[in-house]
Structure 1
């Protein structure tokens, strides 16, 4: 089925007139936008949940939408040429549960780029921030219930290979070119206007439409860059801001992609060191190097003969070498998961040696739960926004990097993190440069970063804090992506800042989630970790507790 850009006629508003003249840095950001966009008022109504996602009970789906109000806001497709047409932005609101102490609004963004944000207020309804703030969610331009941008599906699925041979490099380039053509076919007229700067401008129109002079902001992952961009373009309109699991202010976007494989290697190395200290229990090797050698041997066997996967997701009947690498890189960041991961990888090790040791249904379900964690949200917005920055055009650059990554950083995305993407063959010219990030005119904010963040590598946090002169909270020995609500120490400091205005200090450290309580070899302790219940239930419990991060 073909997917196309849909300008939702049912929500369209007649052409808006009048010039926008704002006496602030925002005026320079949108010099020709029209005053009427800022004069519209959001008309709130109870949200229509629509049909629940496949497999979700209708009553659960309706409960998620409980008390949420929705509205539409109209924005120009092109802020520099408003007459080119309008887009619709779907927004949501969960009113402050303590209206007597209301402090305004807190705008939320989950990241992506391309993440749906309409339901975000519901995710935080039981957190402290829901008491004094109206929580505001929105589907960014191109996403979900906003004017949608999609890509046509290529005729053949792309190659998935974490350690490709030189002969396979050409396939990655061909896949990337096919994807760019498919995206251009579906939404070529809109794609160049799906950008961080324009989404930030949409946020300011949202601010005006809901009647607020300023917003507070909590953004995750790519949402940290979006929040920093908003503050740079509209400094007088931003109050308190928290950038949770921050992008690096200088890594757009090829370097950011490569750093995910670097982070995966760091996490697998940490897990390998932990296993080596407990070889009598897990039998992977007595040193980290021996553990990695064992893992690589398993991977080599799986590449030749995959292990059948009970209860596998559609399209993945077996665990092959690349999926093995992806699971290692995707699950090893969670310290509380290390024991279960060791047992599951041990089961794959044994099954790869003989068919007599097939994976059990419970193990298959556990792997499926882990696979659900490492999957990425992908739509037409991601391959548009990531093209707002220039990518190398010379395929030899990618080939050289992929040779390095398949050897040094094979886990998680592996060499795919260094492969060409559709942006290598970008078919449009971005109408403007990336936002020049700075903080001048709005209060000191917070950057929060886990030491072993698998999606936005740790170095991005200190770099963003330095760029904006913000406070930094580092989470020691933590592999979560999305800290707020999952780490008690950091959550309290974030709440104190957002609600009370109390900053924690320029550099603060919180402890991460504890590692499993499994004694090292030779320890005199009589304690031992006892497994209770099937492994798939234990894995699901860890994931449900948010131990892998709130937005991972």
Structure 2
């Protein structure tokens, strides 16, 4: 049932849709789902609705209708639909009781500290169960897909087209598997791997973090004349290790501890930060680091990493996947990454989560991902650490769909978000005219490293001399919620 349609503001209408909390038992209460709509600007050419999801799980999607403002051809022919999924934002919210901890969660934990993660995760699950009640069991990808189909019916559409980002690619793949006759064109941007559990994909994440660090060390080594950090990747990595060793003994280079430094090294994900990060490490090596720069770097990275999710939804949805229940499985992986590459916060990704201690019985499991609908497009970049390229390759291969690989780019989410003319042109041609790209095509990324010639010492441009914290703050300001 569609109700509460409001007057358009900036060309966007808002409404609510009433759906069952439990589709198998519709008498067990209803939920409200908030949606937004930006109507096609050329009604004579209109070909339907384009539903969207920003990911999360638990990202608010009402504002996603504005992400396509520059895609004029798409806006001419589609009503773009945004949605706050069940549990999120202006829809009926799922909440957790807040969990606090006085324990430490260092990037290089001792063996005795490993249990801090499991104790905290167990408490989070208990508090989410306390706060979520009966609703928690029914906040799932499958029920969100059913909500989408109710919205389709309420709008009077026989089919939908779809653009989903990050976790939204899983949602799109599940919707297509459950309602293949009702999915027309689909774009899965920054895709998950449909054949792996959430935790198995975390292994791909730490591999991507490690690969980005390796690429930065190679880039910096080729510019030893400028940065003086060594002429080989191993030598550059050694400079990081030397700083970390000093931080193990106390504050150094503006960093309070080695954990904050390890997280700062995660900046190597973004090619745009490489020159500034190399200068930053060189300044620490020379004993000339700005005392306030380190804290500004950590703050900028935290702004970019804030989870834009409604409390409770993420912790429910990710429990759809199976998780190991033996904490020692996690501890062994944590120790391995602690000892080989703790940079970028890899240990956290290997730790137990609330789903390790799942307190509710899943009403259903994730359906097998199949495709009996028209071919769509998958988009992934080679430096993304949230949804690594390896995941996108499997999604594209499993669905037998074209893959657009964005090269030399650490950003997350590309179509309509990054002003990538190559990606936008290929996706727009598909959404508007149904023309698929080549089965495998590469677009150059927009996350471009500063121009610092390799070889002898190079004069740095004005942009290259910007503090790393400024570069990271700029990236965080541009990052869309996923």
**Fold-level similarity (TM above 0.5):** yes
Q: Match of 1:519?
A: 453
What residue is the counterpart of 1:478 in the other structure?
Answer: 409
Cα distance, 1:500 vs structure 2: 1.3
CA shift at 1:292, angstroms? 1.2
Maintained 8 Å contact 1:453/1:480: yes
Number of residues paired by the alignment? Answer: 476
How far does the alpha carbon of each residue in 1:19-41 deviate from its partner, in whole angstroms, 9 at most, with x for none? xxxxxxxxxxxxxxxxxxxxx23
Does residue 345 of structure 2 align to residue 413 of structure 1?
A: yes
Cross-structure match for 2:110: 165
Matches within 5 A, 1:121-520: 121-128=65-72, 129-156=74-101, 159-306=104-251, 319-329=256-266, 331-347=267-283, 357-360=289-292, 365=296, 367-378=298-309, 379-440=311-372, 442-485=373-416, 486=418, 487-513=420-446, 514-520=448-454
Tell me, yes or no, if the aligned pair for 2:2 and 2:15 is still in contact at 8 Å: no
- Unpaired runs of at least 5, structure 2: none
SS of corresponding position for 2:60: coil
Q: Aligned in 2, Cα 1:530/1:290: closer, same or farther, shift over 3 Å? A: same
**For the structure 1 residues 344 and 102, does the alpha-carbon distance in structure 2 shift closer, same or farther, using more than 3 Å as the test?**
farther
- Kindly tell me: are residues 76 and 272 of structure 1, through their superposed partners in 2, closer, same or farther at Cα, counting changes over 3 Å? same
2:29 matched to which residue of 1?
85
Give the Cα–Cα distance (whole angstroms) in 1 for the partners of residues 133 and 289 of structure 2.
51
Q: Which residue of 2 aligns with 1:62?
A: none
Structure 1 residues 402, 428: closer, same or farther in 2, change over 3 A? same
> Matches of residues 40-51 of structure 1 in structure 2 within 5 Å?
40-46=1-7
Give me the whole-angstrom Cα distance separating, in 1, the residues matched to 2:256 and 2:177.
46
CA distance in 1, matches of 2:464, 2:110: 43
C-alpha distance in 1, partners of 2:187/2:12? 23
Give the whole-Å Cα distance in 1 for the aligned partners of 2:48 and 2:253: 53
Q: Name stretches of at least 5 consecutive residues in structure 1 with no aligned partner.
A: 1-39, 48-64, 310-317
Cα pair 1:265 1:410 within 8 Å, conserved: no
**Which sits farther off after the overlay, 419-428 or 506-515?**
506-515
* Other structure's SS at 1:147 match: coil
Residues 493 and 186 of structure 1, relative CA distance in 2, 3 Å threshold: same
Give the Cα–Cα distance (whole angstroms) in 2 for the partners of residues 144 and 469 of structure 1. Answer: 35
Q: Which residue of 2 aligns with 1:14?
A: none
Partner of 2:235, secondary structure, is: helix
In 2, Cα distance between equivalents of 1:98 and 1:377: 33
- Paired residue secondary structure (1:192): helix
Partner of 1:104: 48
Is the 1:264–1:412 Cα contact (8 Å) retained in structure 2?
yes
TM-score using structure 2 length: 0.92
Query: Residues 343 and 532 (structure 1 numbering): CA distance in 2 closer, same or farther, change over 3 Å?
Result: closer
Structure 1 counterpart SS, 2:27: helix
RMSD: 2.4
The worse-fitting range, judged by mean Cα deviation, of 421-430 and 466-475 is 466-475
Helix, strand or coil: the match of 1:243? Answer: strand
Maintained 8 Å contact 1:261/1:410: no
Contact 1:260-1:413 at 8 Å conserved across structures: no
> Following TM superposition, by how much is the alpha carbon of 1:302 offset from its aligned partner in structure 2, in angstroms?
3.0
Displacement of 1:365? 4.5
Q: Distance in 2 between matches of 1:46 and 1:340?
A: 47
Structure with greater contact order relative to length (CA < 8 Å, sep ≥ 6): 2
Separation (CA, whole Å) in 1 of partners of 2:101 and 2:354: 15
Counterpart selection for 1:119 from 63, 76, 100: 63
